[in-house]
Amino acid sequence: MTTKPTKPGKLTRLHENDKNYPKVPSGDILEVFENKYPQRDYLITFDCPEFTSVCPVTGQPDFGKIVIEYCPDTYCIESKSLKLYLGAYRNEGSFAEQIVNRVLEDCVNACQPRSMIVTGHFTARGGIAIKVEAGYTADA
C-alpha cells in the first residue's frame, strides 16, 4: 500500500448523476475531504448492504454486504464516491477474497487512515456463505 494519501480537492462525485456508474472499480474514483478532528480517535463505519459483483468463472452475479470501518487521520472518504466505486464491481469478475483485499488497498491509499477493517459478507451460493475480513494498521 502506498503511503501518499490522495489530496482533497473538489468533491466532483457529489454532483454526478447516479446513473453514471464507472465501468471498472478503481481507487481513482474515491474522493476524500479533510478530517476536522484529526487529534481524536473515532470510528467511521460504511455499511453497504447491496453489494454486487460477478463470479470470474461462471459470470453469475454474487451478492453481499461490504462493511468498512476505519479510524481516520488527516482525510475521510466521501461516501458518494465510495458508492460509485463499489457499484463498479458489478461489472468486475472477482472472487470475494480479492474484492475485500482490493477495497482495503484502494481505501487505505485514498485516505491513509490510522486503521481500517473491510469485511465482506457474501450470500450463500452452493450452500456456502463466505465472510472475508482484511485489516490495516498504520505504522506507529
Is 76 among the catalytic positions? no
What per-residue confidence (pLDDT) applies to 2? 44
What per-residue confidence (pLDDT) applies to 133? 98
Is 55 among the catalytic positions? yes
How crowded is residue 62: how many other Cβ atoms within 10 Å of its Cβ?
Answer: 23
Q: List the pLDDT tens digit at each of the 140 positions of the chain.
A: 444 445 556 666 555 566 677 889 999 999 999 999 999 999 999 999 999 999 999 999 999 999 999 999 999 999 999 999 999 999 889 999 999 999 999 999 999 999 999 999 999 988 999 999 999 999 85
What per-residue confidence (pLDDT) applies to 64? 96
Q: Which of 28, 41, 47, 55 is catalytic?
A: 55
What per-residue confidence (pLDDT) applies to 126? 84
Contacts of 4 (CB under 8 A, 6+ apart): 112
What per-residue confidence (pLDDT) applies to 120? 98
pTM of the full structure: 0.87
Q: Which of 41, 48, 62, 111 is catalytic?
A: 62
What per-residue confidence (pLDDT) applies to 3? 44
